[in-house]
Amino acid sequence: MPPSPPNLEKLAIDGGTPVREKLLPYGRQSLDEDDIQAVIDVLRSDWLTTGPKVGEFEEAFADWVGAKYAVSFSSGTAALHGAAFSAGLGSGDEAITTPLTFCATANCVLYQGATPIFADVCGDTLNLDPGEVLKKISSRTKAIIAVDYAGHPAELDELREIAERARALLIEDACHALGAEYRGKRVGSLADMTIFSFHPVKHLTTGEGGMVTTEDARLAEALRRFRNHGISSEARDRQESGQWFYEMVLLGYNYRLTDIACAMGLSQIEKLERNLARRREIAGEYARALRDMTGVVPDGDFPVRLPATRNGVSPAWHLYPIRLNLEALSASRAEIFRALRAENIGVNVHYIPVHQHPYYRARFPETSREGMFPIAEDAYERVISLPMFHAMTAEDVADVVRAVHKVIGHYAIEREPVHALASKGPEQRHV
């Protein structure tokens, strides 16, 4: 059978017509009239910050994820800082984490004067590899910080066991994973502390905002104090009980989430099921439409590798990261990225490995050398996040699929069909 004809449509980057007229972002919020009304109602109320909406939002959120306690923060980053503090991280301590994440995951360890120790990720999910974590455990390990990359839960059971044996806490950075399920349970009660973000590209937004959930009353108390200057009582309780006296019992911060934001969050919780279902639908559509560009063997001759889903897991699909099989393409990731942008598809890259950022290279030269985390580094060279947000329409999804076929089809190196390769034996296959 002759190879299929090359894609003849002229790319927008070469002067052709773009797939879309206007840029489709990789992620964005969707707010309904009732979310807006909820905020307006608070603006007309007595409390703009730390009023009744904070507790209501925390309670509803804890219920939704199936956790005992939820403590809100002004951002996911502040929530991570609260978790690092509450885990007791301090000077001389270490926390093991993934390099393939947003820098805030590792920065929270530095905020506490402790040292982040990176361990490489698994090739399929790009989540922290428990085997690699084991190699990094030391007497100084106080926490393991796993990230549910793209919304796929980390190997929580294995990591929990490793953490318990090391007498360390398991912190789950679930900023991508609100609503994700692991072995039949929503993430939120499966680690010692679970962190969420309410940035506009997430499943639920409060503008900026974050949450820590936990099953441990003492951790919840430490988190509450930490986000409020280390003060032992709250202004609203003092006002309502006619008290003025308070004490600062530890060094905390002002990391409080406002009533304005909490009202928005509370209103958005109502839509979470629907938002999640839509993201799962989009992931299914991408997988069906792009399957013909993927191989039956990982890293085979096909130009694209789709995100993997392990058994017993239902991802929340914050991102849809595809990996380019650069050996089967005649362009670099940078060129393909630019070509997709020219088609007005707002692709993105998640993530530059944290140890490769200039700050980390300068501060930790010995543990930031290239090649130390080969799977994460290789994934970074190949990864492109396709647009993924719950308000995407069927046309938006179709545009992305069309653009990926157009661009990847253009750069795909023509090869023999798979059955011909298979009959030659593995040693002759291109990998």
Ligand X SMILES: Cc1ncc(COP(=O)(O)O)c(C=O)c1O
Question: Shortest CA distance to 149 belongs to which of 121, 182, 176, 185?
Answer: 176
Nearer to ligand X, 20 or 199 (CB): 199
Nearer to ligand X, 169 or 171 (CB): 171
How far is residue 76's CA from residue 31's CA, in Å, rounded to a whole number?
20
HSE-CB at 181 with a 13 A cutoff on CA atoms is 12
Nearer to ligand X, 83 or 340 (CB): 83
Residue type, 331: A
Least spacing, CB of residue 64 vs ligand X, in Å = 18
Least spacing, CB of residue 203 vs ligand X, in Å = 12
User: DSSP string covering 2-21, please?
Assistant: PPPPPP-SPPGGGT---S-S
Per-position b or e across 94-121, b if 16+ CB within 10 A of its CB: bbbbbbbbbbbbbbbbbbbebbbbbbbb
Asked if residue 26 binds ligand X (CB under 6 A), the reply is no
Contacts to ligand X from residues 181-240, by CB under 6 A:
197, 199, 210
DSSP label at 298? T
Catalytic residue flag (residue 202) = yes
Q: Crossing angle of helices 52-65/259-269, nearest 10°? A: 30
Least spacing, CB of residue 322 vs ligand X, in Å = 18
How far is residue 33's CA from residue 40's CA, in Å, rounded to a whole number?
10
DSSP E strand boundaries for 124-228: 141-147, 169-173, 181-182, 185-186, 193-197, 210-214
> 348 pairs with which residues across the strands?
385
How far is residue 431's CA from residue 418's CA, in Å, rounded to a whole number?
13
Interaction mask 58-87, ligand X, x per CB under 6 A: -----------------xxx--x-------
Q: Which residue is nearest to ligand X (CB)?
A: 76
Asked if residue 175 binds ligand X (CB under 6 A), the reply is yes
Asked if residue 153 binds ligand X (CB under 6 A), the reply is no
Nearer to ligand X, 80 or 180 (CB): 80
Least spacing, CB of residue 176 vs ligand X, in Å = 6
Q: Which range in 157-165, 173-181, 300-308, 384-392 contacts ligand X by CB under 6 A?
A: 173-181
Catalytic residue from among 202, 271, 406, 424: 202
Q: Which position among 29, 101, 112, 125 is part of the footprint of ligand X (CB under 6 A)?
A: 101
Least spacing, CB of residue 77 vs ligand X, in Å = 3
Which pair of structure tokens corresponds to residue 62? Answer: 């804890």
Nearer to ligand X, 143 or 293 (CB): 143
Q: Which range in 83-91, 172-180, 299-307, 395-403 contacts ligand X by CB under 6 A?
A: 172-180
Which pair of structure tokens corresponds to residue 237? Answer: 């309780």
The continuous run of DSSP H or E covering 287 comes out as helix 272-290
Asked if residue 126 binds ligand X (CB under 6 A), the reply is no
Residue type, 66: G
Asked if residue 104 binds ligand X (CB under 6 A), the reply is yes
How far is residue 375's CA from residue 128's CA, in Å, rounded to a whole number?
11
How far is residue 135's CA from residue 120's CA, in Å, rounded to a whole number?
10
Nearer to ligand X, 174 or 306 (CB): 174
Asked if residue 264 binds ligand X (CB under 6 A), the reply is no
Least spacing, CB of residue 356 vs ligand X, in Å = 16
> 357 pairs with which residues across the strands?
none
Nearer to ligand X, 142 or 199 (CB): 199
44: Cβ contacts below 8 Å, ≥ 6 apart: none
Q: Which position among 71, 147, 403, 408 is part of the footprint of ligand X (CB under 6 A)?
A: 147
Catalytic residues: 202
| Contact set with ligand X (CB under 6 A) | 75-77, 80, 101-102, 104-105, 147, 173, 175-176, 197, 199, 210
